[in-house]
Amino acid sequence: MKAKIMGAGSYVPHKVVSNAMLEKMMDTNDEWIRTRTGIETRHISEGENTSVLCGKAAMDILEKTGISAKEIDFIIVATMTPDGLSPSTACLVQDYIGAKPIMAFDVNAACSGFIYALSIGEKLIQSGTFQYGLILGGEVMSKIIDWQDRSTAVLFGDGAGGILLSATETENSFLGEDIHSDGSRGESLTAGSHLVTNFHTKENLENRFLQMDGRSIFDFAIRSVPESIRTVVESSNYTLGEVDCIVAHQANYRILQAIAKKLKIPVELFATNIAKYGNTSAASIPILLDELLTNGDLVLGSKKKIVLTGFGGGLTWGSMLIQL
Ligand SMILES: O=C(O)C1CCN(c2ccc(-c3cc(CO)ccc3Cl)cn2)CC1
């Protein structure tokens, strides 16, 4: 049994926050943000939690594919900002869309989460046990941001996106994958640590806000992501010249330029929408993929070769080579 992408969808909160609006909240400016990151605006939730963003993205997928919620056989949500520890955000999405009592679970691989979830979902479909699976990436990054910390507050946005996977006997969409972690460098990007505080300890050790060593994450991305993209393409017996589009995690436009330079490929091969949404962590790849399919830049069934690549907290990174 093979897995194929049947369609995509997305949802972002209505509230648009511009760089100029952030200038009024903290010591930053539009020129710095745009030149250093490529970000112009981001969408910020006004009360909708991650499960609602994911639920609305899922409804968008169902509407676009014509598949009903009752036909869905499993839901995977990639998120580093779940509604809570329990119930999982995926279970809340199951309820939100009115699916049957199916398998539903969360995956936390930060900004590589959608890649991890898609890899798992593909294997579930390949097992022959399931016909349709929803693979969602969703974040409310705004709830873990320290809005007094200008080094991170200007970078992130909220949103959700995803794809519908279906079982098929025809040609495989999934040509290769290259997925990694390195916990020894996990301290470079942390959020929501639950340190041991109980009746043995007095102090309440809690650090709920996102903290990032931007320099080390930047350097990690420049070193590891080009290698992952090259590996996933060449280990599948293709060349970088045969790749039609790279749908990369939207962390920073200068990162995409640096990766393109290292791979000696045109930066235009990297689709981008970071200007509009900022860094939406696990949601960035599916939001961009939905945008490309909606505006016709990518077409399902076209046989075009695309690479999806995520990288970030964990540290985690991963790439997938897909034939549309
Ligand atoms: O001074 C500057 O230019 C600053 C330097 C620091 N910057 C950074 C640093 C790291 C990231 C980042 C974040 C994630 C997490 O999703 C993953 C991958 C990356 Cl590369 C994004 N921006 C902003 C501009």
Q: Say yes or no: 133 and 231 in one domain.
A: no
Structure tokens at 239: 């060349």
Q: Say yes or no: 163 and 211 in one domain.
A: no
| Catalytic site residue from 19, 49, 252, 279 | 279
ipTM surpassing 0.90 = yes
Instruction: Look at residue 155 in the predicted model and tell me its pLDDT.
Output: 98
Q: Say yes or no: 151 and 201 in one domain.
A: no
Residue 204 pLDDT > 80, yes or no? no
How far does the centroid of ligand 1 lie from the alpha carbon of residue 213, in Å? 8
Q: Give yes or no for a contact between 109 and 282, defined as CB atoms under 8 angstroms apart.
A: yes
How far does the centroid of ligand 1 lie from the alpha carbon of residue 23, in Å? 19
Q: Say yes or no: 118 and 89 in one domain.
A: yes
Tell which atom from ligand 1 comes closest to the C-alpha of 221.
20
What range defines the domain where residue 307 resides? 174-323
Structure tokens at 124: 């579930």
Residue to mutate (ligand 1; options 139, 217, 285; most atoms within 8 A of CB): 217
Q: Say yes or no: 314 and 227 in one domain.
A: yes
Residue to mutate (ligand 1; options 42, 218, 284; most atoms within 8 A of CB): 218
The length of the chain in residues reads 324
Instruction: Look at residue 6 in the predicted model and tell me its pLDDT.
Output: 96
Q: Say yes or no: 112 and 224 in one domain.
A: no
Residues 6+ apart with CB under 8 A from 228: 178, 180, 309, 311, 317, 318, 319
Q: Say yes or no: 113 and 180 in one domain.
A: no
Residue 255 pLDDT > 90, yes or no? yes
How far does the centroid of ligand 1 lie from the alpha carbon of residue 219, in Å? 9
Sequence letter at residue 106: D
Q: Residue 36, class by beta-carbon neighbours within 10 Å (0-12 exposed, 13-18 middle, 19+ buried)? A: middle
Distance CA 61, CA 151 (A): 34
Distance CA 103, CA 113 (A): 18
Query: Looking at ligand 1, which residue's alpha carbon is closest to its atom 9?
Result: 214
Q: Say yes or no: 6 and 32 in one domain.
A: yes
**Which residue among 168, 196, 230 closes a domain?**
168
Residues 6+ apart with CB under 8 A from 310: 109, 111, 112, 113, 114, 115, 116, 248, 249, 282, 285, 316, 317, 318, 319
Query: Looking at ligand 1, which residue's alpha carbon is closest to its atom 23?
Result: 37
Instruction: Look at residue 170 in the predicted model and tell me its pLDDT.
Output: 84
Q: Give yes or no for a contact between 51 and 160, defined as CB atoms under 8 angstroms apart.
A: no
Q: Residue 286, class by beta-carbon neighbours within 10 Å (0-12 exposed, 13-18 middle, 19+ buried)? A: buried
Q: Say yes or no: 244 and 160 in one domain.
A: no
More confident residue, 33 or 193: 33
Query: Looking at ligand 1, which residue's alpha carbon is closest to its atom 13?
Result: 251
Q: Say yes or no: 96 and 50 in one domain.
A: yes
Distance CA 275, CA 246 (A): 17
Query: Looking at ligand 1, which residue's alpha carbon is closest to its atom 5?
Result: 214
Q: Say yes or no: 56 and 153 in one domain.
A: yes
Cα–Cα nearest to 162, from 74, 274, 95, 37: 74
User: pLDDT, tens digit, for every residue of 139-198?
Assistant: 999 999 999 999 999 999 999 999 999 999 987 799 999 999 999 999 999 998 877 777
| Catalytic site residue from 49, 54, 91, 249 | 249
Residue 323 pLDDT > 70, yes or no? yes
Residue 85 pLDDT > 90, yes or no? yes
Average pLDDT over residues 224-247: 98
Q: Could you give the percent of the chain with pLDDT greater than 70?
A: 98
Instruction: Look at residue 198 in the predicted model and tell me its pLDDT.
Output: 77
Residues 6+ apart with CB under 8 A from 210: 141, 144, 145, 146, 152, 156, 189, 190, 191
Residue to mutate (ligand 1; options 81, 145, 212, 317; most atoms within 8 A of CB): 212
Average pLDDT over residues 59-79: 98
CATH number at residue 214: 3.40.47.10
Instruction: Look at residue 43 in the predicted model and tell me its pLDDT.
Output: 98
Q: At what angle do helices 253-263 and 214-234 cross, to 10 degrees?
A: 40
The strand pairing partners of 7, in sequence order, are: 164
Q: Give yes or no for a contact between 114 and 286, defined as CB atoms under 8 angstroms apart.
A: yes
How far does the centroid of ligand 1 lie from the alpha carbon of residue 283, in Å? 16
Instruction: Look at residue 144 in the predicted model and tell me its pLDDT.
Output: 97
| Catalytic site residue from 19, 49, 54, 111 | 111
Instruction: Look at residue 206 in the predicted model and tell me its pLDDT.
Output: 64
Tell which atom from ligand 1 comes closest to the C-alpha of 281.
16
Instruction: Look at residue 203 in the predicted model and tell me its pLDDT.
Output: 64
User: Is 279 assigned a catalytic role?
Assistant: yes
How far does the centroid of ligand 1 lie from the alpha carbon of residue 165, in Å? 31
- What's the mean pLDDT when you consider all of the chain? 96
189-190 and 174-181 beta bridge pairing: unpaired
Instruction: Look at residue 205 in the predicted model and tell me its pLDDT.
Output: 60
Cα–Cα nearest to 110, from 133, 81, 130, 83: 81
User: Sheet of 174-181: strands edge to edge?
Assistant: 174-181, 316-323, 305-312, 245-248
Distance CA 62, CA 70 (A): 10
Q: Residue 240, class by beta-carbon neighbours within 10 Å (0-12 exposed, 13-18 middle, 19+ buried)? A: middle
Instruction: Look at residue 202 in the predicted model and tell me its pLDDT.
Output: 66
- Ligand 1: residues with CB < 6 A are 36-37, 111, 155, 189, 214, 217-218, 221, 251-252, 255, 279, 281, 311-312
